[in-house]
Amino acid sequence: MAEVIVETARLVLRRWRDHDFAPWLEHLNTPQVKAFLGGVQPLETMAERFAKLERAWDVAGYSFLAVERCEDRAFLGACGIGRIETASAPDGLRGEVEIGWQLRADCWGQGYATEAARAVLAMAFERFAFPTVFAQTSENNRASWRVMERLGMARRADLDYPDPDYPPQDNPTMVYALPRADWEARQT
């Protein structure tokens, strides 16, 4: 069984297992889920990304995690933290820690993204003591930036940037941030 990293009332966030690739590909590489993430990707690209997900925890000590529903252990998606590696990101953002999530389309609107992201933020600030966690999205991805706002993240328009890896309609990349002190103040 894969190592459970975080549990919430409804979710288990755990390390990846080899057999997660099939549901990850089936549920997260769809036109609906990938609408603001560069579109459906070729199998080879997805296989490379999955291999990177599997290795990341061992390399960095943190990563994006598989998200399962506690009730039935159904695979719902991914949520976690990583470093911003986008070459076109501005200097004040590149290399910083970001949080992100991807859920199956049939799980949208049920609070799973917010619940998983809250648990990941707690891990980022309590376990790793990161000073700030960033998040990025497209202006058109209203659902994602609404989650960022529910998490207490503030818009950082000064860090927005055009990302040539995404189509014009998904640019510029919008940036949100949550300093650790702000997160701590919300915990009391």
DSSP letter at 169? G
| CATH number for the segment(s) 4-186 | 3.40.630.30
Share of the chain above pLDDT 70, in %: 98
Residue 26 has pLDDT above 90, yes or no: no
> By mean pLDDT, which of 41-55, 82-96, 102-116, 121-135 is the weakest?
41-55
pLDDT tier at 2, thresholds 50, 70, 90: low
pLDDT digits (tens, 9 = 90+) for 45-91: 888 888 888 888 889 989 999 999 999 999 999 999 999 999 999 99
What pLDDT sits at residue 156?
97
Higher pLDDT, 30 or 140: 140
Q: What is the mean pLDDT of the chain?
A: 91
Q: Tell me the range of 28-32, 113-117, 163-167 where mean pLDDT is highest.
A: 113-117
Mean pLDDT of all residues in 130-148: 95
Spacing of C-alpha 128 from chain mean position: 17
What pLDDT sits at residue 145?
94
CA pair distance 144, 37, nearest whole angstrom: 11
Interacting residues of 155 by C-beta distance below 8 A, sequence separation 6+: 174, 175, 176
What pLDDT sits at residue 117?
98
pLDDT tier at 27, thresholds 50, 70, 90: confident
Strand-by-strand arrangement of the 173-179 sheet: 4-7, 11-14, 64-69, 75-83, 97-103, 132-138, 173-179, 154-155
Overall size of the chain counted in residues: 188
Neighbours of 42 (CB within 10 A): 9
Share of the chain above pLDDT 90, in %: 66
Mean pLDDT of all residues in 147-162: 97
Backbone angles phi, psi at 126, to 5 degrees: -80, -45
**Angle between helix 21-28 and helix 43-60 axes, rounded to 10 deg:** 120
| Strands, E assignment, the chain | 4-7, 11-14, 64-69, 75-83, 97-103, 132-138, 154-155, 173-179
